[in-house]
Amino acid sequence: MRQVIEAAARQLAPLCGETCKTGLILGSGLGGYAEKLSDPRTLDYADIPGFPRSHVEGHKGRFVVGERFGKTVICMQGRFHYYEGYKQDQLALSVRVMRRLGVEKLLLTNAAGGVNLSFKPGDLMLISDHINFSGSNPLMGPNDDSFGPRFPDMGNVYDKTLREQVKQTAAEKGIALQEGVYMMFTGPSFETPAEIVMARTLGASAVGMSTVPEAIAARHCGIKTVGISLITNMAAGVLDQTLTHEEVQFAAAQASERFTRLVDGMLERVF
């Protein structure tokens, strides 16, 4: 893992220049934000020896580095997933590469199913905390002390100060913003109605198949993190309808304008 991280950082460093303190990981249907960056420089995951690849429709599978509001930003345009067969330490690779490049603040985004009955498709949810129901953890195995301690505290994974700034930014821009707990299931099957009842009972507001390993890795290596879920559908059992990935992509496209305005505000004022 260390060799892959160092090799990726060496390849990306010339694209990032001297100062690259902001990272974005763009989830299903949200990768279009990378096209907003000026002077884009790209590196496909496939061109990094030993690096995982994204095989999910809607995930382009590359790093994009560019400028926005006078800041150099590095984006993952598409992520890897546990259900693709990767181990969770592999899911954390991109976060650790960003840390090597000097990233200090990270925005994690995802498409999620709404569990909170007051939510509706198209809502944006600020992640206040998460429940790791995947049965694994990206920090399992030997600890790399150069990134962080063996037993990192998880009391402030989604940085409280940054969350307050995001809420203020959303309010100033007139963007409705929900807030809640994200629960990670392994996928690739969508959750059953009984599992959604369990998730709601445990305190989850939304469910999905990503984000948590990256958030844990970011906390481990000292990157301040904010998470935004786009509620693309109501989870199983809430509405009498079949869930599909196409529905997720359609809802993401419909919400792209509000999502872009919110992320712009975050880059301009928070990051």
As annotated, the active-site residues are: 28, 59, 81, 83-84, 111, 209-210, 233, 245
- Whole-Å CA distances, 97 to 27, 79, 92: 18, 14, 9
Helices (H), 17-59: none
- Whole-Å CA distances, 210 to 133, 139, 153, 268: 11, 16, 20, 26
Amino acid at 210: S
The span from the CA of 24 to the CA of 226, in Å, is 10
| Residue listed under structure tokens 């998460």 | 130
CA-nearest of 73, 55, 33, 93 to 260 is 33
Q: Are 213 and 108 in contact (CB under 8 A)?
A: no
Q: Dihedrals φ, ψ of 92, to 5°?
A: -85, -5
The span from the CA of 32 to the CA of 36, in Å, is 8
